[in-house]
Amino acid sequence: MPQIAPLLTTLTSMARHMPTIAASGLLSTEGNPLAALSTPITMARYRFTTAREVEQAARVCPNRIALIDDDGSLTYQELRDNSRALARYFYQLNSEDLRIGVMARNGRGSIYPLTAKGYAGASIYLLNIGSSRDQLDGCIRRDGINLLVIDEEFLPRLPENIQIPVIVAHREAEPHPRAAECLDLEEIVATHTRGNLPVFPQHGAIVLMSSGTTGIPKGVMRNEPKAPTILGPCSARFRSAPT
């Protein structure tokens, strides 16, 4: 019964806001008309997280290009599958309060964990890539970050004797000496293709760290929306935008 409650809540909310949902394009049948039928369950499980967006897109247009970065391109299905694999690693950590720090440029190094957050259930801290070693260390300690995803170019700023798992995302041509201490994002994705994920994850917040400070960056918290009410203001803006 506890697992049915989120679905019933979502169905009730969708029925109440159906005109807004229809206008938003959320129920797109492009490519695969049957994909629209899975929307209520997908929304009940993942709400309005990045996981919901990627999951729905993978059902509607799995072979469409979703991401292009320095490491190549990914279709929506590949992005979904790889993000799920990372989420399995997150989930297997058995943390009751997983707090993921991300210090990576635009690309799969930031998109994978942002999507995996929604599949596994976690909070995520998007760290300022301009942060110094002391600022990064301060964020980790103050906010209780217990896992870090970081591009290799930022490893020189990694605090000494760091006590949390560190996953290296985008690799450099010349390996940094500290990379040997860290886990590899692509290896995790390749080795976690099977395993359970929560049916209804506990969705934590997205925290965006500020820039331009000399002290420890401050965070702006955004809680994941639970209901389609967020679509009203968004769709109204789209309709009123000049063409």
Residue 100 lies in a domain: yes
Residue 72 lies in a domain: yes
Chain centroid to Cα 209, Å, comes to 16
- Residue 76 near residue 15 (C-beta atoms within 8 A): no
The per-residue pLDDT string of the chain (243 residues; one tens digit each, 9 = 90 and over) reads 455 666 666 667 666 666 666 665 566 666 677 777 788 888 889 988 999 999 999 998 999 999 999 999 999 999 999 999 999 999 999 998 999 999 999 999 999 999 999 999 999 999 999 999 999 999 999 999 999 999 999 999 999 999 999 999 999 999 999 999 999 999 999 999 999 999 999 999 999 998 766 789 999 998 887 665 555 555 555 454 555
pTM for the full predicted model: 0.85
| Sheet strands (E) in the chain | 65-69, 72-75, 99-103, 123-126, 147-150, 166-168, 183-184, 206-209, 219-222
Tokens for 100, please give them: 């993921």
Give the pLDDT confidence score for residue 225 in this predicted structure: 75
End-to-end CA distance of the chain: 48
Whole-angstrom CA distances from 66 to 22, 99, 114, 193 are: 23, 26, 14, 20
Residue 184 lies in a domain: yes
Total domains in the fold of the chain: 1
Residue 197 lies in a domain: yes
Exposure b/e, 79-115, CB count within 10 A at least 16 = b: bbbbbbbbbbbbbeeeeeebbbbbbbeebbbbbbbbb
Tokens for 88, please give them: 């399995």
How do strand 99-103 and strand 147-150 relate by DSSP bridges? parallel
Give the pLDDT confidence score for residue 171 in this predicted structure: 97
Give the pLDDT confidence score for residue 227 in this predicted structure: 60
Residue 221's CB is within 10 A of a number of other CB atoms, namely 11
Residue 110 lies in a domain: yes
Residue 200 lies in a domain: yes
Whole-angstrom CA distances from 225 to 54, 228, 229, 239 are: 16, 8, 8, 21
Assign residue 108 the CATH number of its domain.
3.40.50.980
Give the pLDDT confidence score for residue 210 in this predicted structure: 84
Residue 188 lies in a domain: yes
Residue 215 lies in a domain: yes
Domain ranges, residue 221: 63-225
Q: Give the residues across from 29 on adjacent strands.
A: none
Whole-angstrom CA distances from 126 to 74, 143, 147, 213 are: 22, 12, 12, 16
What are φ and ψ of residue 87, in 5° steps? -60, -35
